[in-house]
Amino acid sequence: MIVDNEETCSADDVGNRPLGRCSAFYYGVGHMLNDITSSCWFTYILLFLTEIGLSPRDAATVMLSGQVADGVTTIFVGELIDRFGRFKLWHAGGSILVAISFSSVFGDCLSCEVLGIDSPTLRTIGYSIFAAIFNVGWAATQVSHMSMVNCITLNSTSRVALTSCRNAFTMVANLSLYTIAFVVFKVINGTTSDGIEKQYRWIAYFSIFVGSCFVCLFLFGTKEPRLKQHSPRRSHQRVLWNYWFQKILYYQVALVYVLTRLATNVSQALLAFYVIDDLHMTQSSKASIPAIIYICSFMASVTLQEFEWTGRRLKSIFTAGAILWIFSGAGILILPSKMCNFLYIIAIFIGVSNAFMTVTAVGMESFLVGRDLNGCAFVYGSLSFLDKISCGIALYTLELYHVPSFGKLQ
pLDDT digits (tens, 9 = 90+) for 180-218: 988 888 888 877 777 888 888 899 999 999 999 999 999
Q: What is the DSSP letter of 278?
A: I
Phi, psi (degrees; rounded to nearest 5) at 340: -60, -25
Cα distance between residue 201 and residue 162, in whole Å? 33
The angle subtended at Cα 20 by Cα 18 and Cα 21, nearest 5°, is 125
Does the structure show a pLDDT above 50 at 373?
A: yes
Residue 299 sits in which domain range?
20-222+237-396
Give the global pTM: 0.74
**Domain assignment of residue 127, yes or no:** yes
**Domain assignment of residue 231, yes or no:** no
> Following CA atoms 301, 306, 310, 314 in sequence, which dihedral angle do they give, to the nearest 10 degrees?
-20
- pLDDT digit string (tens) for 265-321? 888 778 877 887 778 777 777 778 888 888 888 888 888 877 777 778 888 999 999
How many separate domains does the chain show? Answer: 1
Q: Give helix then strand counts, H and E, for the chain.
A: 16, 0
Give the residue-averaged pLDDT of 16-42.
Answer: 85
**Domain assignment of residue 9, yes or no:** no
Amino acid at the residue 390 = S
Give yes or no for a contact between 368 and 380, defined as CB atoms under 8 angstroms apart.
no
Provide the pLDDT for residue 46: 85
- Helix, strand, coil % (nearest 5) of the chain? 80, 0, 20
- pLDDT digit string (tens) for 235-278? 445 666 778 888 898 999 999 999 999 988 888 778 877 887 77
**Domain assignment of residue 8, yes or no:** no
Provide the pLDDT for residue 141: 93
**Domain assignment of residue 11, yes or no:** no
Q: Burial-class residue 95 by CB neighbours within 10 Å (0-12, 13-18, 19+).
A: buried
**Domain assignment of residue 12, yes or no:** no
Cα distance between residue 3 and residue 18, in whole Å? 6
**330: domain CATH number?**
1.20.1250.20
Cα distance between residue 239 and residue 30, in whole Å? 27
**Domain assignment of residue 6, yes or no:** no
Long-range contacts of 184-190, Cβ-Cβ distance < 8 Å, separation of 24 or more? 185/283, 185/284, 185/286, 185/287, 186/284, 190/51, 190/283
**Domain assignment of residue 351, yes or no:** yes
Nearest to 172 by CA among 32, 332, 374: 32
